[in-house]
């Protein structure tokens, strides 16, 4: 109805969206009415998507790799891509979002109320994707440089760009198409399926050969009774011995084995906590060193090596865990619970666990948060956990119905499947979680807690790595040795080391700045000499030239300066900074683009003459090659194509 009443050709040009489109066009330096259909399509995508993501974030959606968060991320990245297609190379979404907020705030006041959150999320996602694009484009340029004209980017290379650098397949296809190349999408799907298979395999907790034997013998095996919550050692009967996944009656000294007992004090890896270590001791000097314990369902599998004697099915033996390792794991596991409680208390009560790892020497905790923690927040969290440790909170461990545990406020991991009866670890007033792991009986047993690092795992997911208990002393001793070594090298006291390093960094930056300034001056001097070579072609000034010895940065500086001096026109520069290297750059004014000449497409084709490739935006692009002997031919072809397009 708005389209009809406002007499416009489509919904995008109604007053519901068009002001947003105009904001994007203004940033790009474009007149919407004078744009071609392809450019208008990009502007419409930007207008529509910015309107959508602004409302999504206002409604509490954060970018992630799952569900509606993934939809949000895809929309934001599509906005960035279409912005680049129309010549916007810098962050711009928050500026366009301001137009979207102003347009709708009368009907949706929460847009203005959530303005800071909206713009922060958009800025964060845009900056991340721009970094992704920069890394991916450099690698893609290297890949394309090695391909012949009309060649094909392999599915493996396209998948590496996607999997390692987060570079979208469709963007690889777009850039390849501009350079006259194709992408092996079938090969990409093959690699994607391999990755899915690896991911599925990574979830397996038991060696597949062992798994096969267990599946075959399952009907003759009963579930292993776990005694480890209260007993560090227990008498047990050997129900099954496996060697390389196959059942055997006996195993001699030196043999790697997998042992299944009727009952065990060994904790099997689960819930992020590693399996216990220890020994199995039997008659006649039998000794089996256990390095790991995994489980398949309710069957515990002890992975170890027979160190002495002969292990036989049916043996009665003593299973004894390594208490020092267990205590370390307990300290780290309880510290993980305290860490989550501190994050909820100090940062955001909606924080939830996204994964964890509890080892003997450290702990790792993944959680949902759209931003990094500040240094002050990290210190506050560390201090809070250590305060709870010093307060000596006793653990209250109980088994209760799942519904009862949830009603009491016990924290559960989202998406985890729980039995009807659950184990609840409660440190009253501090933390209460559903957990099957082993824990200290009192927080004072942990001793100390120290955060080692806080990093991003993926968008919207952060990771804290820390140590607790005896591992803290080992960590501090290592750091002390490093500080002493640095003090000896810099001839400085520990407290003077930061200032000494800062002084060296400042000195290096000053030297690099001087070098960059000298290179820029040289590029300017060379570019001034090139102005006399400019040609007049109708309303345009054209300059195609070689800058001997100039590197890619110098070419970029020169091209931008020359185009500024020429006004409406086209600059195409090339150089051979090394015996096996060619650098090319193209800079076009908007009026040249309107004639259908795009820097990215032209430079990609020209670079192939020098055995290379590259690309970029319609108004500016860079490329490289490996055959300097072809540089003159490449520049001649560039001049010919520019003349043909603008003549």
The pLDDT score that the predictor gives to residue 205 is 47
Whether residues 345 and 287 fall in one domain: no
434, two tokens: 């559903």
pLDDT of residue 261 exceeding 90, the answer is yes
Contact 88, 96 (CB under 8 A): no
Pairing relation of β-strands 299-308 and 256-261?
antiparallel
Beta bridge partners of 422: 400
Tell me the pLDDT band of 465, cut-offs 50, 70 and 90: very high
Instruction: Find, among 587, 583, 567, 564, the residue nearest to 575 by Cα.
Output: 583
* Token pair listed for 410: 């016990």
From CA 634, how far away is CA 606, in angstroms rounded?
Answer: 6
The whole-number pLDDT of residue 48 equals 95
Of the candidate ranges 159-168, 211-220, 405-414, 574-583, the one whose mean pLDDT is the lowest: 211-220
List the one residue out of 69, 1, 73, 143 whose CA is nearest residue 607.
Answer: 143
H or E stretch at 337: helix 323-346
Share of the chain above pLDDT 90, in %: 51
Same-domain check for residues 312 and 347? no
HEC letters along 611-622 = CCEEEECCCEEE
Longest CA–CA span in the chain (Å) reads: 101
User: Tokens representing 36?
Assistant: 């071609």
For residue 119, tell me if it sits in a domain: yes
Cα–Cα distances in Å, from 191 out to 175, 363, 420? 21, 33, 40
More confident residue, 40 or 350: 40
Whole-angstrom distance, CA of residue 372 vs CA of residue 512: 30
> In 3D, which of 231, 230, 234 has the Cα closest to residue 263?
234
pLDDT of res. 355: 84
Cα separation, 647 vs 593, in Å, equals 14
Exposure of 527 by Cβ count < 10 A (0-12 exposed, 13-18 middle, 19+ buried)? Answer: buried
Q: How confident is the model at residue 211 (pLDDT cuts 50, 70, 90)?
A: low
Any domain includes 201:
no
Does one domain contain both 284 and 338?
no
Instruction: Give mean pLDDT, residues 233-247.
Output: 92
In the chain, the number of structural domains is 4
- CATH number for the domain including 303? 2.40.30.130
Where residue 460 falls (left for φ over 0; alpha for ψ -120 to 50; beta otherwise) is left
547 and 462 within one domain: no
DSSP annotation string for 174-215: HHHHHTT-EE-HHHHHHHHHHHHHHHHHHT--S-HHHHHHHH
Does residue 473 share a domain with residue 332?
Answer: yes
Residues 309 and 332 in one domain: no
Determine the Cα–Cα distance for residues 227 and 233; give it in Å rounded to an integer. 8
The pLDDT, as a whole number, for residue 263 is: 96
How much is the pLDDT for 415? 52
Q: What is the pLDDT of residues 469-524, one digit of tens each?
A: 988 988 889 888 988 898 888 888 888 888 888 988 999 999 988 887 787 777 77
**Which among 299, 321, 343 is the end of a domain?**
321
- pLDDT band at 200; cut points 50, 70, 90: low
Q: Is residue 262 located within the same domain as residue 389? A: no
Domain presence at residue 629: yes
Q: Which of 212-221, 290-299, 326-335, 424-433 has the lowest mean pLDDT?
A: 212-221
- Count how many Cα atoms sit within 13 Å of the Cα of residue 594 in the half-sphere of its side chain: 13
Query: Which pLDDT tens digit goes with each residue over 271-287?
Result: 889 999 999 999 999 99
Is 154 within the bounds of a domain?
no
Does 138 have pLDDT greater than 90? no
Q: What is the mean pLDDT of residues 359-370?
A: 90
The values of phi and psi at residue 45, to 5°, are -60, -45
Q: How far apart are CA 295 and CA 480, in angstroms?
A: 40
Res 452 pLDDT > 80? yes
Tell me the mean pLDDT in the region 392-417.
85
Contact 363, 466 (CB under 8 A): yes
What is the rounded average pLDDT of the residues 556-565?
89
Q: How far apart are CA 344 and CA 368, in angstroms?
A: 11
Quote the pLDDT of residue 615.
Answer: 81
Closest CA to 535 of 639, 626, 620, 452: 639
The domain that holds 526 is classified in CATH as 3.10.310.40
What is the arithmetic mean of pLDDT over 622-643? 92
Say if 506 falls within a structural domain: no
Which position has the higher pLDDT, 205 or 367? 367
- Give the pLDDT mean for 444-464: 89
Using 50, 70 and 90 to split pLDDT, how confident is the model at 339?
very high
In this structure, the answer to whether residues 305 and 372 fall within a common structural domain is: no
Task: Flag whether pLDDT at 203 surpasses 60.
Answer: no
Instruction: Provide CB contacts within 8 A for 636, sequence distance 6+.
Output: none
Helices 155-165 and 115-145: crossing angle in degrees, nearest 10, is 150
Say what the pLDDT of residue 62 is.
80
Name the band, by pLDDT with cuts 50, 70 and 90, for residue 210: low
Compute the mean pLDDT over every residue in the chain, rounded to the nearest whole number.
88
Note whether residue 607 is domain-resident.
Answer: yes
Sign of the CA dihedral running 384, 389, 393, 395: positive
Ramachandran bin of 6, using left for φ above 0, alpha for ψ from -120 to 50, beta for the remaining angles: alpha
Q: Kindly state the average pLDDT of the residues 428-443.
A: 94
Is 292 domain-assigned?
A: yes
Task: Provide DSSP, 376-403.
Answer: HHHHHHHHHHHHHHHTTPBPEEEEEEHH
pLDDT band at 575 (very low <50, low <70, confident <90, very high): very high
pLDDT digits (tens, 9 = 90+) for 29-82: 999 999 999 899 999 999 999 999 999 998 878 887 667 787 898 899 889 989
Structure confidence at residue 173 (pLDDT): 86
CATH of the domain at 344: 3.30.980.10
Instruction: Say if residue 55 is in the same domain as residue 20.
Output: yes
Query: Taking the model in full, what pTM does it have?
Result: 0.55
DSSP assignments along 207-250, one per residue: -HHHHHHHHHHGGG-PPPEE-TTT-SEEEEEEEEEEETTEEESE
Residue 118 clears pLDDT 80, i.e. is over it: yes
Where is mean pLDDT largest: 241-250, 252-261, 530-539? 252-261
What pLDDT score was predicted for residue 460?
Answer: 76
The predicted pLDDT at position 459 comes to: 66
Domain boundary among 426, 451, 477: 477
**Going by C-beta distance under 8 Å and a sequence separation of 6 or more, which residues neighbour residue 590?**
29, 30, 87, 619
Q: How far apart are CA 73 and CA 53, in angstroms?
A: 9
Residue 270: C-alpha distances to residues 195, 204, 273, 405, 438 (Å): 24, 12, 6, 20, 11
What six digits make up the tokens of 574? Answer: 């090339």
Is residue 199 over pLDDT 60? no
At 584-627, the pLDDT tens digits run: 999 999 999 988 899 988 998 899 999 888 888 889 999 989 89
| Token digits of residue 93 | 């979404």
Q: Which residues contact 114 (CB under 8 A, 6 or more apart)?
A: 57, 58
Verify that 471 and 522 share a domain, yes or no: no
Picking from 2-6, 175-179, 382-386, which range would have the lowest pLDDT averaged per residue?
A: 175-179
Which neighbouring-strand residues pair with 368? 461
**Domain end marker among 445, 477, 509:** 477
Give the span between the Cα atoms of 593 and 438, in whole angstroms: 66
Mean pLDDT over 259-265 rounds to 95
163, part of any domain:
no
d(CA 75, CA 63): 10
Q: How far apart are the first and last CA of the chain?
A: 46
In this structure, the answer to whether residues 240 and 348 fall within a common structural domain is: no
Do 340 and 245 sit in the same domain of this protein? Answer: no
What domain range is 11 assigned to? 2-143
């Amino acid at each position: 109805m708005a389209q009809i009443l406002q007499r416009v050709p489509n919904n995008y040009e109604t007053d519901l969206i068009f002001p947003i489109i105009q904001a994007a066009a203004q940033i790009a330096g474009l007149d919407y009415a004078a744009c071609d259909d392809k450019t208008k399509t990009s502007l419409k995508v930007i207008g529509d998507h910015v309107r959508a993501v602004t409302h999504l974030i206002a409604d509490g959606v954060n970018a992630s790799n799952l569900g509606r968060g993934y939809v949000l991320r895809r929309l934001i990245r599509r906005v960035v891509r279409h912005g680049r297609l129309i010549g916007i190379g810098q962050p711009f979404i928050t500026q366009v979002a301001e137009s979207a907020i102003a347009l709708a705030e009368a009907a949706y006041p929460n847009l203005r109320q959530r303005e800071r959150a909206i713009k922060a999320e958009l800025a964060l996602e845009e900056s991340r994707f721009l970094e992704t694009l920069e890394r991916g484009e450099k690698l893609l340029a290297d890949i394309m440089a090695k391909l012949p004209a009309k060649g094909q980017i392999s599915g493996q290379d396209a998948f590496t760009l996607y999997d390692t650098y987060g570079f979208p397949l469709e963007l690889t296809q777009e850039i390849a198409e501009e350079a006259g190349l194709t992408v092996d999408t079938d090969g990409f799907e093959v690699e994607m399926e391999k990755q899915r298979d690896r991911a599925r395999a990574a979830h397996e907790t038991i060696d597949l050969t062992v798994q096969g034997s267990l599946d075959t013998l399952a009907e003759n095996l009963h579930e292993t009774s776990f005694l480890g919550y209260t007993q560090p050692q227990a008498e047990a009967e050997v129900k099954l011995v496996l060697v390389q996944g196959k059942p055997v009656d006996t195993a001699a000294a030196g043999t790697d084995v997998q042992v299944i007992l009727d009952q065990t004090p060994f904790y099997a890896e689960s819930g992020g906590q590693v399996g216990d270590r220890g020994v199995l001791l039997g008659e006649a000097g039998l000794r089996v060193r256990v390095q790991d314990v995994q489980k398949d369902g309710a069957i515990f599998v002890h992975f170890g090596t027979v160190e002495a004697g002969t292990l036989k099915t049916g043996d009665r033996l003593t299973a004894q865990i390594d208490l020092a390792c267990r205590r370390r794991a307990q300290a780290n596991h309880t510290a993980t619970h305290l860490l989550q409680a501190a994050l909820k208390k100090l940062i955001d009560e909606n924080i939830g666990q996204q994964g964890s790892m509890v080892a003997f020497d450290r702990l790792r905790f993944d959680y949902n948060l759209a931003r990094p923690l500040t240094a002050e927040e990290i210190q506050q969290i560390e201090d809070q956990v250590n305060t709870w440790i010093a307060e000596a909170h006793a653990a209250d461990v109980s088994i209760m119905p799942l519904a009862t545990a949830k009603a009491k406020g016990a924290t559960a991991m989202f998406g985890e499947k729980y039995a009807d009866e659950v184990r609840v670890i409660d440190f009253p007033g501090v933390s209460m979680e559903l957990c099957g792991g082993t824990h200290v009986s009192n927080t004072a047993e942990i001793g100390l807690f120290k955060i080692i690092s806080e990093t991003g795992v993926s968008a919207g997911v952060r990771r804290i790595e820390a140590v607790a208990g005896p591992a803290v002393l080992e960590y501090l001793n290592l750091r002390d040795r490093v500080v002493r070594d640095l003090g000896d090298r810099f001839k400085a006291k520990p407290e003077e080391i930061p200032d000494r390093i800062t002084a060296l960094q400042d000195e290096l930056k000053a030297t690099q700045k001087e070098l960059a300034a000298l290179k820029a001056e040289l590029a300017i001097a060379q570019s001034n000499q090139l102005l006399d070579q400019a040609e007049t072609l109708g309303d345009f000034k054209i300059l195609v030239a070689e800058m001997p010895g100039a590197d890619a940065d110098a070419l970029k500086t020169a091209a931008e300066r020359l185009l500024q001096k020429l006004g409406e026109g086209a600059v195409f520069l090339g150089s051979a900074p090394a015996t096996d290297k060619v650098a090319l750059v193209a800079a076009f004014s908007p009026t040249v683009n309107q004639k259908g000449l795009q820097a990215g497409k032209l430079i990609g084709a020209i670079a192939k003459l020098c055995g290379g490739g590259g690309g970029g935006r319609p108004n500016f692009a860079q490329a490289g090659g490996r055959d300097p002997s072809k540089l003159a031919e490449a520049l001649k072809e560039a001049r010919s194509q520019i003349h043909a397009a603008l003549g």
